[in-house]
Amino acid sequence: MPKPVVLQMGAYPSWDETPLNEAYDLRRYFEAADKAAFLAEHGPSIRAIATRGELGASREIIAACPQLEVISVYGVGYDAVDLGTCRERGIRVTNTPDVLSGDVADFAVTMMLAQSRGVVAGDAWVRDGSWAAQGGMPLQRRAFGRRAGILGLGRIGFEIARRLTGFGMQIAYSDVAPKDYAADWSFVKDAEALAAQSDFLFVAAAASQETRHIVDAPVLKALGPDGMLINVSRASNVDEEALIAALADGTLGAAALDVFEGEPALDPRFREVPNILLQPHQASGTVETRKAMGELVRANLAAHFAGTPLVTPVI
């Protein structure tokens, strides 16, 4: 039996590349110089796509693969996969939920602590001799005991909230409806109202058309000059133009971002605005989590080709 042909959208660690290569006939889209010619040549034989959360699979790519049966996403977010086309054509889609929630939540809390206590600036202060020349750093703001708002209390938002209870924080959240597993935390339907009662606003909502720019200028204004925005979800949940303006004129106190429109490129103004911590989309980036994500990508593909139920289906 010939191996199923799989379109690989992005690179994986070697511990995933090797077993994927053994089981499938991989076509590496990300290495192709001429993407259109590559799709025209290989698209007709593709039965599966293995992709990453931020890369997804567009309508054009899916259209170039008439025999496509399944898309396996290395990531919990599948907003970059054209689900409408997949539904129309009966293409199955899988993701990697749960296994990354703890690490993403750890990283969100890490960014909150690092940014409020000036950890990155402190390192530079020691290295560049400022400590010896000028004395101690400017004083920072405390994190424990303050007010946290969580936009999107799904698996990741829940893990963030659980961690913040250890910091004695007052926790509120916003979602489409109150969650039965969040009895200790207050539900605030509206994002702006949530921001108005938060010192730290965590964005952990799955991205969709409905959540696009849910963090807009009024939300940032409500968060205010003492507030901090932390985004570990998708850049599209935040109006970057409004964020840059709010940081530049002091309407918003600070921000910590792991995701950017057009990443890994980013709006160059982010490098110039004050009080921002920039991270290279690494919230799920631990060896443990990435191994578990890779295993799920393969387990879903294997289940599909064996005709057994998908392990973590989206549709």
Q: Does 215 bind ligand 8YV (CB under 6 A)?
A: no
Out of 53, 56, 157, 227, the only residue in the binding site for ligand 8YV (CB under 6 A) is 53
Shortest distance (Å) from residue 202 CB to ligand 8YV: 16
What φ, ψ does residue 213 adopt, rounded to 5°?
55, 35
Beta bridge partners of 174: 151
**Whether 41 is catalytic:** no
- Residue 193, judged by CB atoms within 10 A of its CB (0-12, 13-18, 19+), counts as middle
**Whether 263 is catalytic:** yes
Q: Does 54 bind ligand 8YV (CB under 6 A)?
A: yes
Residue of 42, 47, 163, 234 marked catalytic = 234
Residues shown for the chain: 315
- What gap in Å lies between CA 251 and CA 2, rounded to an integer? 60
Residue of 52, 92, 281, 290 marked catalytic = 281
Residue of 17, 69, 241, 263 marked catalytic = 263
In DSSP notation, 142-172 reads --TTSEEEEE--SHHHHHHHHHHHTTT-EEE
Report whether 137 contacts 120 (CB < 8 A).
no
Q: Does 56 bind ligand 8YV (CB under 6 A)?
A: no
**Whether 28 is catalytic:** no
Q: In what order do the strands lie in the sheet with 5-8?
A: 25-28, 5-8, 48-52, 70-74, 92-94
Please give the residues from 94 up to 133 whose contact with ligand 8YV meets the rule CB under 6 A.
Answer: 100
Out of 4, 56, 77, 227, the only residue in the binding site for ligand 8YV (CB under 6 A) is 77
CB closer to ligand 8YV, 77 vs 118: 77
Tokens of 26: 């991989």
Out of 47, 48, 72, 74, the only residue in the binding site for ligand 8YV (CB under 6 A) is 74
Q: Which residues bind ligand 8YV (CB under 6 A)?
A: 52-54, 74-77, 100, 281, 284
| Catalytic residue ranges | 234, 263, 281
